[in-house]
Amino acid sequence: MNQSLIIAANIVAITILVFRLYYPRYRRKDMVVAILSLNIGVMSVATALASAEVSAGLGLGLFGVLSIIRLRSSELAQEEVAYYFSALALGLLAGIQVDPLWLTPALMAALLVALYVGDHPQIFADTRHQTVNLDAAYTSEAALIARLEGLLDAEVLRVKVKKVDLVNDTTSVDVRFRLRQMPTSVLGSADSIAVGNAR
DSSP state of 125: T
Structural element, H or E, at residue 176: strand 170-179
Q: CB–CB of 82/119 below 8 Å?
A: yes
**Dist. CA 60–CA 174, nearest whole Å:** 35
Question: Domain segments of the chain: what residues?
Answer: 3-118, 127-198
pLDDT confidence of residue 191:
39
Residue 53 has pLDDT above 60, yes or no: no
- pLDDT beyond 90 at 173: yes
pLDDT at 95: 83
Residue 16 pLDDT > 90: yes
Counting residues of the chain whose pLDDT is more than 90, the rounded percentage is 40
Q: How far apart are alpha carbons 118 and 109 in whole angstroms?
A: 14
Q: Residue 126: pLDDT band by 50, 70, 90 thresholds?
A: confident
Phi/psi at 185 (5° precision): -115, 115
pLDDT higher than 70, residue 132: yes
For the chain, report the end-to-end CA distance as a whole number of angstroms. Answer: 63
Which is higher by pLDDT, 45 or 158? Answer: 158
Lowest average pLDDT, out of 66-70, 99-103, 186-190, goes to: 186-190
**CA atoms of 46 and 42, how far apart (whole Å):** 6
